[in-house]
Amino acid sequence: MPESTVASIILAAGGGTRFGEAKQLLDWEGQSLIAHTADTAWMAGLEPVIAVVGAAADAVAPVLASRPVQVVRNYRWEEGLSSSLFTGIAALPTETDAAIFMSVDQPRITPRLLQRFIERRHESGRGIIVPQTPDGQPGNPVLFASRYFPELARLTGDVGGRVLLERYADDIAYLPVDDPYTLMDVDTPDAYRRMKDYAGSHERALPFDEIRSLICDMDGVLWRGDTPLPGLHDLTALLDDRGMEYVWVTNNSSRTPGEYVQKLAHMGVTTTEEHILTASVATAQYVADQRPGATVFSIGGNGVREALAAEGLICCDELNASEIDVVVVGWDQQLTWQKLATATRLILEGATFIATNPDLTFPLESSVAPGNGAQIAALEAATGVKAQIIGKPAPPLYRKALARMGAAPDTTLVVGDRLDTDILGGVRLGMPTALVLTGIADREGMVGSPIRPTAVFDSLAVLIEAWRAAVTVHV
């Protein structure tokens, strides 16, 4: 039932000298190539992210010290690329299903492209995924299923995984990449300059005139607590004026879609449940798809319980929880030690551990409170089992929203107040993103963050003002 685990192995042990310094430390958009590559893999949701360092390791490794990256040293890096493959594979957890082998010098690779590798693997059923330029040339990075790890680890000399491609041609699925610059590597100083010039000339502002649909968070964007935020009514008026499809999407699992409809009505906004998508609904649908009729022990409010019941799942409380298939954890304002104890026991007995969302905090009117991520952390610490997340930034929630609207990612704007969930979820699916600073995120917290929204606005009202001005100019 759990989704496959796909790791990233960043090959960064080389000792090339043509740049006059370690290539891994060349600047790319204000940070080093190695940091940029590691951030890209992490933002794509690959886990773990392993960086293999060798030459200049003493200078390269500290750059990654503050990032969620496992740094491993290849002391035999002079023996060639194969030694780095062996070192990276040896560091993988045994449960890893596949790994994307990345070069440190392809800065145009995006989180969305890495997600497409995973999607291509699922749809094709193949064990090797190779990107392909418009003229049919194969490129890097390459995804290998775990069944190829032993053979990759046995390679010797200065050779990489490409020696397996001819041998296993029938197990390859190619991934089309439209822009040939995406797969280019920083091989020479001239290529480095050309790539930086290209990146600078292709920076884009928020494409308001191309937006056809909207995915918008609620808590911290439309309101804080029970207080509507400036811009709420302006946004609904804009959606009506432009005839746009929209879905209000939230990781808050405590309320039902009907309760959100009522809350919006009290704020003077009329909508329907079809325009509301919660992490609870997405989680219940996921569990029902994977385990129809499963017995579930849940932590969470009405939003969690009603969503599970609506999908025909059998819900049990802590008094009769036995032989449970799945433990579902959502934000619970009535959380007790007994609930945590029951969930811990069931997970240790083998129940699948699924969480609606990973938000560590929840925005109140004048402060923040512990969110579902804090509950998950307690259970993960107690059980040693990592939860499978359905809500933002994991792709399922936004994918359901897109499917509900019949919308395309590149013309759908994501609006949210959190970098680590709202914005990161949009980045992973290649959607333009707008961060508003009326909830969790602030400008100070953005400094040094690898997650970069397309645009940042002080409030929803400022966003709408900019949107109307841009559309008026371009109409």
Q: Is 359 a catalytic residue?
A: no
Q: Where does a domain end: 367, 389, 411?
A: 389
How much is the pLDDT for 188?
Answer: 86
How far is the C-alpha of 376 from the C-alpha of 373, rounded, in Å? Answer: 5
Task: Say yes or no: 413 and 468 in one domain.
Answer: yes
Residue in 219, 359, 417, 420 annotated catalytic? 219
139 within some domain? yes
The angle subtended at Cα 258 by Cα 421 and Cα 270, nearest 5°, is: 90
Domain boundary (201, 225, 260) is at: 201
Residues 140, 61: Cα–Cα separation, whole Å:
23
Flag whether 63 is in a domain. yes
Rounded Cα distance between 254 and 289, Å, is: 22
Which tokens sit at 259? Answer: 């309760």
Please report, in tens digits, the pLDDT of each residue of the chain (475 residues total): 445 689 999 999 988 777 878 899 999 988 999 999 999 999 999 999 999 999 999 999 999 998 999 999 999 999 999 999 999 999 999 989 999 999 999 999 999 999 999 999 999 999 999 999 999 999 999 999 999 999 999 999 998 998 999 899 999 999 999 988 899 998 888 888 888 887 766 556 788 999 999 999 999 999 988 899 999 999 999 999 999 999 999 988 888 999 999 999 999 999 999 999 999 999 999 999 999 999 999 999 888 999 999 999 998 876 666 789 999 999 999 999 999 999 999 999 999 999 999 988 887 777 788 999 999 999 999 999 999 999 999 998 999 999 999 999 999 999 999 999 999 999 999 999 999 999 888 888 888 788 989 999 999 999 999 999 988 754 4
Domain boundary among 355, 389, 423: 389
Encode pLDDT of 234-292 as tens digits. Answer: 999 999 999 999 999 998 888 899 999 999 999 999 999 999 999 999 999 999 999 99
Closest CA to 36 of 454, 455, 451: 451
Position of tokens 């006059």?
Answer: 20
User: Is position 161 within any domain?
Assistant: yes
Note whether 443 and 457 are same-domain residues: yes
Q: For residues 311 and 287, is the Cβ–Cβ distance under 8 A?
A: yes
Active site residue 317: no
Based on the fold, state whether residues 163 and 184 are members of the same structural domain.
Answer: yes
**For residue 426, is it within any domain?**
yes
Does the residue 77 lie in any domain?
yes
Burial (CB < 10 A; 0-12, 13-18, 19+), residue 106, is: buried
Q: Could you tell me the CA-to-CA distances from 411 to 30, 151, 183, 361, 456 in Å, in that order?
A: 28, 42, 24, 30, 18
Residue 439 CA neighbour count, 13 Å, CB half: 30
d(CA 40, CA 38): 5
CATH number, domain of 158, equals 3.90.550.10
| Residue 264, in any domain of the structure | no
Residues 244 and 366 in one domain: no
User: What pLDDT is recorded for position 2?
Assistant: 47
Q: What is the pLDDT of residue 475?
A: 44
Question: DSSP string of 256-296?
Answer: -HHHHHHHHHHTT----GGGEEEHHHHHHHHHHHHSTT-EE
Q: Is residue 66 located within the same domain as residue 179?
A: yes
**Residue 340 and residue 235 share a domain:** no
Residue at 1 is within a domain: no
Are 57 and 188 in the same domain?
Answer: yes
Domain assignment of residue 300, yes or no: yes
Active-site position among 39, 105, 185, 217: 217
Per-residue model confidence (pLDDT) at position 1? 41
**Domain match, 55 and 68 both:** yes
pTM for this model (two decimals) = 0.84
Residues 322 and 453 in one domain: no
51 in the same domain as 173: yes
Do 25 and 124 share a domain, yes or no?
yes
CATH code, domain carrying 417: 3.40.50.1000
Q: How many domains does the chain contain in total? A: 3
Q: Are residues 132 and 246 in the same domain?
A: no
Parent domain of 12: 6-201
Residue 200 confidence (pLDDT): 65
* Cβ–Cβ under 8 Å, residues 127 and 168: yes
Q: What is the pLDDT of residue 89?
A: 97
Q: Return d(Cα 75, Cα 332) in angstroms, integer.
A: 49
Length of the chain: 475
